Amino acid sequence: MVKALYLDDSYMKEFSAVVESVKDDKYVVLSETAFYPNSGGQPYDTGKFIKDSEEFNVVFVGKFGDVISHEVDKPGLKPGDKVKGIVNWDRRYRLMRSHTAAHVLSAIFHKEIGALITGNQLDLEKSRIDFNLENFDRDKIDEYVLKSNELIDKDLPVTVSYMPREEALQKPELAKLAKGLPEAIKTIRIISIGDFDSQADGGTHVKSLKEVGHLEIIKCENKGKNNRRVYFKLEE
Ligand SMILES: [Zn+2]
């Protein structure tokens, strides 16, 4: 199983690793990686590998079972090569801010009206969250965004911890996600925002809320009877 360095240190921008395998001259698996793979609604990292003085651009990162595979833009790497990995930090940091913002917004929606998230997709320009919600009042949404931004101003710490699966299943707020994870996963990774919110999560987050900046709603859509889609972005 590959060591995913971003799980415990979301701020790692550079790392050293050994190439374990290369498929079709472009799909590279490393001994460990700080590159985040496309998963859980958070887009993949980009960046580069450096071997001696040669650079290989990382154009896509995917997760296949326990394996994290990096797609590079040219051939030349082989098993045993030592590489330095450099994550495109502007892209990643923006996605980290958006991901934490999505947790804040979902937590507020959940606390205020009991809405549950049914899906989410983060992106650089705009992100969306789907809520299971019958009624949809635009004024209320604006109020929840205001509350989200007030919470962000409190600058609560955002922390990573781990919990045995059985324990997570006992906690109502974590049980829904924990149940959805494969049985083989015995330890659940938890992202907590102070004592305001905890979610089972595999993504990368900022370490204090202020780094998010404020968020604003772009638009809201009805996607079927109980499905409401909210698009948001980070304020510049
Ligand atoms: Zn998340």
Triad 137, 109, 179: Cα angle to 5°: 130
Q: What is the whole-number distance in angstroms between the Cα of residue 99 and the centre of ligand 1?
A: 6
Q: What is the whole-number distance in angstroms between the Cα of residue 202 and the centre of ligand 1?
A: 7
CA gyration radius, the chain:
19
- Whole-angstrom Cα distance, residue 87 to residue 85? 7
pLDDT at 226: 85
The pTM (predicted TM-score) of the whole model is: 0.94
What residues have CB less than 8 Å from 47, skipping those under 6 apart? 35, 57, 58, 85, 86, 87, 88
Per-residue pLDDT of the chain (236 residues; tens, 9 = 90+): 668 999 999 999 999 999 999 999 999 999 999 999 999 899 999 999 999 999 999 999 999 988 999 999 999 999 999 999 999 999 999 999 999 999 999 999 989 988 888 889 999 999 999 988 877 788 888 999 999 999 999 999 999 999 998 888 888 777 666 667 777 788 889 999 999 999 888 999 999 999 999 999 999 998 888 888 999 999 97
Question: Closest by alpha carbon to 107, among 191, 185, 208?
Answer: 191
Question: Closest by alpha carbon to 21, among 6, 7, 31, 12?
Answer: 31
Contact 232, 101 (CB under 8 A): yes
- Whole-angstrom Cα distance, residue 198 to residue 38? 22
Q: What is the whole-number distance in angstroms between the Cα of residue 187 and the centre of ligand 1?
A: 16
Residues with CB under 5 A from ligand 1 (ion): 201, 203
Q: What is the whole-number distance in angstroms between the Cα of residue 76 and the centre of ligand 1?
A: 36
